[in-house]
Amino acid sequence: MALGLSGFDGSSDAMPQALVTAGERTLITPADLIEEPDVLPERVAQIAFFSRQSDLALAMQAPGAQVETRDATGTVRLSDVRERTLGDLPFVFWFQVLIGVVSVLIGAWVVGLRPADWGARLFALLGLFLPAFAMPAAIYSTRPLAMDGALFETLSILNHFGACAFGAALVCLFLVYPRQLVPPPVFAAVFALTGILFVLDVLHILPVTIHHATVAMQMLAAIVAAMIQWWLSRRRPVDRAGLRWFLTTTLVGAGLFIALRAMPPVLGMGDSFVISQGYAFGLFLTVHLGLAAGLARYRLFELNAFAYRVWFWFAGILLVVAIDLGLVVWLNTQAWTSLPVAIVVAGLLYFPLRQHVLERIFTPKRAAFTRSSEIVDLVFTREAERRDEKWDTLLASLFDPLESERDTTSPVTAPRASSDGSTLLVPSFAGLDARRLRLADRGRRLFGPDDIRAIDTLLDLGRIVEEGRAAYKLGVVAERDRISRDLHDHLGAQLLSALHTVDAGEKDELLRRTLSELRTIVSEEGAGDQSFADVMADLRPEIADRLSLVGITLDYRVTGDDALLPPAAASALRATLRELVSNVIKHADASVVSVCAQVKDGRVTLDVTDDGRGFEQEALDGPGRGMSNLKTRAAALGGSIVFAPAGALDDIAGVAARLRFPLEQPIAGSLP
């Protein structure tokens, strides 16, 4: 597709040197290749530039016209002039077009979010005026060599119109955002004044061009309006955060523009470091995005830390440059300095000192979190009202919110800030209701990620303390139950035997054994792992004595393998056998009790049977602690205990009880 403009073939780094037509060679000067005619200081120079462009464009249309180019290696070549097509347009052209399209879309997005807001409407105008000056510049700044002077001047006028209109819209935007300072008729006056200045410049009524002065005055007016808005928003953190988006992105855009476009020539680095005007327009898009984020209140709660970091980095760069330039100027004015002395001063003294100072200034200082004692005190407070008071006091000391209220309706499971940072939602915790905090530091700032992390840390610490407290309570209950079971099963059996003993010496021995057992129960001390055979052998005389006192015969057998029993298993085995024998003595009215214990296939089995009167099923489910203790002990060992009437358990005559539990450490070998 032809564009009606003349072009030529050549590498992207080849610079035009001359235009050759009908044997005549017209030299191409650097002034012919400037991107923006506004850099010319006077109107006369601009008129001459446009006239020269017309002459070159006309010459390029002559039959057989060629362009002489020279590349970076010094190679000279001639390229035929031909019609320019879309494929010839460089990337920077499309980049500027893209900036214009994106700015329009962003403006439409913001005004779609807040159609009745004057700030959003004026921002939409900014989105329209940005392509009005970017797209004409995209055409003339990417010309291959020359274009018709009249067309060039028309595009330049359109560029001026877009820039002036953009500046007027920016001034009006800061007169209305975030708080409207003037009535809408003032906006019309600003645009009318801008239009008058634009017409004066275009018609050349004044002896000098005033385009740059107009844009500069607009920028100054916008800055003044922004400063007024900043002052008025000192008690409105949401408004100030929106302004901060603009100021931060403006700082980034301006800083990059200065670093990439203005600083290299000042520092003597040459023009090779200067980005083209087309890419420099991308910096306007940075500012545009900042304005959009502020107007849309986009994620303001995350802005503070980012904005302050950008400001510190920018200030740090300026500080380093200023100090370095100061050192260079000072050394240059000293008669005693030389290159070796300068190297020593800079390398051994100045650079280490500068690094130390910058680290002290810009390294963030992280305050230690010192609220653990308050959280522990809160969790261990029993009264609900006092817990609420302490939680509110702790949150107030951390954030000093303008408002704090309980929230019993929102399903808050994790702390989060509202999109504009004005509200912090704190989830329920330790039986406390959720909290809704508004505007930190008495309304002077918004909530941010650091505040969310602080609440997360508080809640995590509180949950750990609460879990520890709950585990402690469970441990107390479990220990109380253990002591209760042991007192019932061990001491109950011993005291029952002492009660039935007539002999005073034997009674004293039973009581001494009971006291020793009591000390073991309270301290839960054991002798380590014990042999199954030894445990059963120790129990045999005790069980035989107890039964003989009430006239009951004992049949006691231990068979199978031997095994090591952990202290808990040995204690449970003793307690179970003692409790079963106690039940026989108290309830069975039996004459014979059989005890059969064995280890086989890694399991311990204890059978206790009697020939008494049996039992009713209700007795197993009654309120007594004996049966419950037996089942609890068996379950704790990973086993079970069952009860059966006469003949129901492996054809054993009489009432039977069977305890079974697995072993962890079997011993090779069999019992005799």
Strand partners, 530: 565
For the chain, what percent of residues have pLDDT higher than 90? 8
Which residue in this structure is represented by tokens 């005619």? 37
What's the CA dihedral at 150, 155, 158, 159 to 10 degrees? -130
For the beta carbon of residue 164, count every other beta carbon within 10 angstroms: 23
Please give the Cα distance from 447 to 435 (Å, whole number).
14
> Identity (one letter) of the amino acid at 495?
L
Cα angle 516, 522, 528 (rounded to 5 degrees) comes to 75
pLDDT digits (tens, 9 = 90+) for 505-558: 666 656 656 655 665 555 454 457 888 888 888 888 888 887 887 888 999 999
Q: Which parts of the chain sit beneath pLDDT 50?
A: 1-5, 10-11, 262, 265-266, 268-273, 298-303, 305-308, 311, 364-369, 523, 525-526, 665-672
Burial (0-12, 13-18, 19+ Cβ within 10 Å), 411: exposed
C-alpha 611: how far from chain center: 73
pLDDT number for residue 152: 92
C-alpha gyration radius of the chain: 47
**pTM of the predicted structure, to 2 decimals:** 0.52
Please give the Cα distance from 295 to 284 (Å, whole number).
17
pLDDT number for residue 81: 82
All residues at 6 or more sequence positions from 548 whose CB lies less than 8 Å from its CB, including other chains: 554
Which residue in this structure is represented by tokens 């446009």? 50
pLDDT number for residue 192: 95
Could you give the C-alpha distances from 403 to 169, 422, 442, 565, in angstroms and in order?
A: 37, 11, 8, 63
pLDDT number for residue 666: 47
pLDDT number for residue 346: 64
Strand partners, 597: 558, 606
Please give the Cα distance from 152 to 136 (Å, whole number).
9
DSSP assignment of 108-133:
HHHHHHSTT-HHHHHHHHHHHHHHHH
- What DSSP state is assigned to residue 375? H
Q: 446 with 420: CB under 8 angstroms? A: yes
DSSP assignment of 6-66:
EEE---TTPEEEEEEETTEEEEPPGGGG-S-GGGSSSHHHHHHHHHHHHHHHHHHTSTT-E
Burial state string for 365-397 with b = 16 or more CB within 10 A and e = fewer than 16: eeeeeebeebbbebbebeeeeebbebbeebbee
- What DSSP state is assigned to residue 271? G
DSSP assignment of 529-569:
SEEHHHHHHHHHHHHHHHHHHTT-EEEEEEEEEEEEE-HHH
In the chain the first and final C-alpha atoms are separated, in Å, by 108
